[in-house]
Structures are given as C-alpha cells and as structure tokens.
C-alpha cells in the first residue's frame, strides 16, 4: 500500500485537524441515533406505537447491515474504491434517511399528506407512520454503519503506528458528545412540536455531509499535490479474505465480544429514558440528563483509556475488566433500586474501556489493506445483535406488562416493569466476559501482542 505524503501525515496539527473534521460527521450520526430514545412515550401517545412497534422501528436501523450485509460490503467498497467515494455515498444515505424519518412522524404526513394513502394500502396491521419512519431509519442505518467504517479506516490511515488508540478514543468521545447532547436537547425541543428533535438531527447530518465533502476535497488535493494518489488496496479484493478473517480465532473472539457488548449497551440506551421514567418516576428531562451521563463519562474516559493502551498496552485485560463491569451494571439496574446515577456512571466506564481497547486491537490482528473489510464484518455482526435485542426488549417488555399502555403510564395509572429485559442484558454481558477471556488466552498463543503498547 502506498503511504500518504510523509510531510502531512507526520504533521500533528494537520492530522488532528482532519480527525476533528470527520469526528463531527460521526457525532451527527450518534446524535440522530439517540435523539429518538426520549421520544418513545410521544410515539406511543401520538402515533399509537406499542413497545413492540417502537422496537420494530429502532431495529429497522440494523436490517441493512444484518440481512444485506451492507457494513461488510461497505468495508469491501472502502478497501477497493477508497474512503472518499465510499464515504460520500453512505453519509448521504444517513442524511436522506433522517429526512424520511422526520416526514413519517410529521403531522402533515399523518393528516393524509403525500404518500399516506399508499402506505395505508398494504400491511393494515402496521400504521403508515411506522412504515415510513422505519424506511427512513432503514436508510439511516444503511449509511450510518458504513460511514463509521469509513471514518475508522480514515483514522487508521492517518494515525496507525502513532497515537491510534488515543485518536480513536477522541473520535469516540466527540461522537458520544453528540449522543449525550441528544438525550439532553431532545426533551427541550419537544414543545410545541414533538418532531422538532428529529428535524434538528437531520440538520446536523446535512452539515456533516457538507463537512465530509470538504474532507474529500482536502484529501484529494493533498494526494494530488504530492503526485501520490492513495491506493487503498494493494491487490483486488478476494472473497477468500472474508473466510480468512472467519478462521482467525482472535478475530472471531473480538467480533463476538463486539456483538455481545454493544447489544447489551445500545439497545439498552434506546429504552433507558423510558426505564428511568417508569422505575424511578423521573421526568422526561431528568431521565434524559441521567441517561446522557453514560456518554459524558465516555467523553472523558475513552481518550484516557486509549492513551493508556497506546502507552502501556494491556488491551485484552482492559476488555475483560470492562465486560465484567457491564454485567454488574445490568444486575444493579434490574435487581435493586439503587439511585441509577451510580450504575449509569459505571456503564460509562465500561463503555469507555472496551471500545478504547477493542477497535485499535483489530489493527494488530488484521492487515491494513483489509481493515475496512474487517471493520465492516464486525459492524454487520454487531448489527445482528442490535437488531435482535432491540426487537426482543420491546417484545419482552410487552409480555412482562400485559395490558399496560403509554396512555396509562402518562395518566399515572400504571408503569412498565423493566426487570426481565435488563436481566436478559445481564446474561448477554456474561457471554461477553467469556469471549474477552478467550481472546486474552488466544493472544498468548497467536502472539498478536494485544497486551503490548500500540504506539511505536
């Protein structure tokens, strides 16, 4: 693989500026992904969504990456055609999907606006709003996961062999700042029109698309200036590369840890504000603030833990500890009435430990020319869990609370009991702990050096 110009790759100010620019794109992605979480009750009250309907809508995000393997193909496309072309297409899909999601929720559409009759003509058991919003979230998910692959590959391009874990940690910190702000800002924007938070998230994604376009121009111009257009792959992609990854035990264990960990976190965060409102009787605003503390914790701790793994190593041990902490968090939330601030703070630490160690570790296991494919495969496997457990939480919640509706909760006549869904996530966390243990043991055999520092 041809290296990017030495002068610019070695220029700290330049590469960190690139990081900040593309991190805004990821922050807009995370903002929109979590901006829907505080709206669960509104969707029930205004659109008539049950918990199962809400779970179906949220799970639509993962469908293209689970059943169409778009994150895998997106990673392959990034390896074959480069981050510029791939990123432009998939960041645009995010923006388009957000607009369609907002349109499906709008009062104009639900009052019989354009497309309403068409959406009413099939699947009568599903409301037109649910269909259109799910299509929009499907397109958003189609672009979101591959755009994360592209951004991660971009960071590897500029930082491998340098401060890669710290850079990835900063990127995640900025992205999760977007997620944290969405949980705080969304309740503030609900009045007078509850769909305003959706449109605001779409605006941020539009700005993100423009910023990525700027990055594309910068990246291209500097490559041309050095007369050294970056070739993203040394050789044509071969399907055997995927099978090679799937026969690598270290990659298998880290991919399984990825799916179990994120499936116990992201689907939970989709229901966290509603859980806090029902179990602890917090208001929408307070629930959003407490839920956002998870992300605010990661803003501080992810770069810190990334710096530590860069300089001290111990990535496999960090992943093992973070997995155990995740189990404890869900047990406390499901089995006790301890103030949720404590377990949410602990979740923020766990949510910092594992990503800070996991994503840089992939660069030690996989050749850089196939890093996009590897990340894409991991994201698709991860989305299988996000899709399945988001749906499952909604179904278990309905089964555990027969007859309870959003209207009853709003009137103070009943509340949703979240014990069973959260216990399910605690069990999932145990599997993650097992895979982290197997990864650490395998590293002693394979010799990839996951316990060694990243920075050369």
What secondary structure does DSSP assign to 176-205, as a single string? HHHHHHHHHHHHHH-SS-TTHHHHHHHHHH
Is residue 342 domain-resident? yes
Is residue 81 domain-resident? yes
CATH code (residue 343): 1.20.1250.20
Q: Which of 43, 51, 347, 30 is nearest to 174 (CA)?
A: 30
Report pTM: 0.69
Residue 255's contacts (CB-CB under 8 Å, 6 or more residues apart) are 377, 378, 381
Number of domains in the chain: 1
Residue 160's contacts (CB-CB under 8 Å, 6 or more residues apart) are 363, 368
Is residue 1 domain-resident? no
If you average pLDDT over every residue of the chain, what do you get? 83
Is residue 171 domain-resident? yes
Percent share of the chain, pLDDT over 70: 88
- Cα 407 from chain centroid (whole Å): 30
Determine the structural domain holding residue 14 and report its residue range.
Answer: 6-446
Alpha-carbon distance of 226 to 303, in angstroms, equals: 32
Element of type H or E holding 337? none
44 pLDDT band (50/70/90 cuts)?
confident
Is residue 83 domain-resident? yes
Q: Which of 177, 194, 163, 150 is nearest to 292 (CA)?
A: 177
Give the pLDDT of residue 316. Answer: 86
pLDDT value at 57 more than 80: yes
pLDDT value at 90 more than 70: yes
Is residue 451 domain-resident? no
Is residue 453 domain-resident? no
pLDDT value at 442 more than 70: yes
Lowest mean pLDDT among 63-67, 187-191, 253-257, 322-326: 63-67
Give the pLDDT of residue 11. Answer: 67
pLDDT tens string 7-18: 555 667 777 888
Is residue 456 domain-resident? no
Residue 2 CB neighbour total at 10 angstroms: 11
Which range has the top average pLDDT, 277-291, 361-375, 402-416?
277-291
Go through the chain and tell me how many residues it has.
456
Phi, psi dihedral angles at 29 (to 5 degrees): -60, -55
Give the pLDDT of residue 368. Answer: 67
pLDDT value at 235 more than 50: no
Q: Which of 179, 180, 106 is nearest to 136 (CA)?
A: 106
**Pair of tokens at residue 153:** 């590959």
pLDDT tens string 196-216: 999 999 999 999 999 999 988
């Amino acid at each position: 693989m041809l290296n990017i110009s030495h002068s610019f790759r070695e220029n700290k100010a330049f590469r960190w500026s690139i990081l900040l620019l593309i991190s805004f794109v990821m922050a807009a992605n995370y903002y929109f992904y979590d901006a829907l979480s505080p709206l669960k009750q509104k969707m029930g009250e205004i659109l008539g969504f049950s918990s199962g309907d809400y779970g179906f809508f949220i799970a639509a995000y993962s469908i293209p990456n689970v059943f169409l393997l778009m994150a895998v193909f997106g990673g392959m496309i990034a390896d074959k055609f480069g981050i510029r072309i791939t990123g432009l297409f998939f960041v645009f899909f995010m923006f388009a999907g957000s607009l369609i999601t907002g349109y499906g929720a709008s009062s104009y559409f639900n009052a019989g606006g354009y497309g309403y009759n068409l959406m009413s003509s099939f699947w009568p058991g599903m409301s037109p709003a649910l269909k259109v919003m799910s299509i929009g979230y499907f397109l958003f998910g189609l672009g979101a996961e591959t755009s994360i692959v592209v951004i991660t590959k971009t960071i590897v391009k500029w930082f491998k062999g340098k401060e890669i874990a710290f850079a990835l940690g900063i990127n995640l910190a900025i992205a999760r700042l977007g997620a944290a702000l969405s949980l705080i800002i969304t309740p503030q924007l609900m009045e007078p029109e509850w769909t305003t938070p959706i449109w605001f998230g779409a605006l941020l994604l539009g700005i993100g698309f423009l910023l990525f376009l700027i990055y594309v121009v910068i990246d291209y111009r500097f490559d041309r200036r050095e007369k050294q257009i970056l070739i993203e792959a040394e050789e044509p992609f071969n399907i055997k590369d995927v099978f090679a990854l799937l026969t690598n035990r270290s990659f298998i264990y880290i991919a399984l840890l990825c799916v179990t960990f994120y499936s116990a976190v992201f689907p939970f965060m989709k229901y966290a504000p509603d859980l806090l409102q029902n179990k602890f009787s917090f208001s929408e605003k307070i629930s959003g603030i407490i839920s956002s503390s998870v992300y605010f914790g990661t803003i501080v701790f992810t770069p810190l833990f990334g710096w530590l793994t860069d300089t001290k190593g111990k990535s496999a041990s960090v992943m093992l500890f973070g997995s155990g902490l995740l189990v404890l968090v869900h047990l406390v939330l499901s089995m006790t009435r301890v103030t949720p601030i404590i377990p949410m703070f602990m979740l923020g630490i766990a949510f910092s430990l594992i990503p800070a160690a996991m994503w840089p570790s992939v660069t030690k296991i996989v050749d850089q020319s196939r890093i996009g494919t590897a990340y894409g495969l991991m994201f698709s496997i991860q989305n299988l869990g996000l899709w399945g457990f988001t749906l499952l939480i909604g179904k278990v919640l309905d089964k555990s609370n027969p007859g309870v509706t959003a209207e009853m909760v709003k009137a103070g006549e009943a509340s949703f009991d979240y014990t069973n869904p959260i216990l399910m996530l605690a069990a999932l966390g145990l599997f993650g702990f097992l895979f982290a243990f197997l990864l650490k043991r395998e590293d002693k055999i394979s010799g990839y050096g996951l316990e060694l520092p990243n920075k050369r």
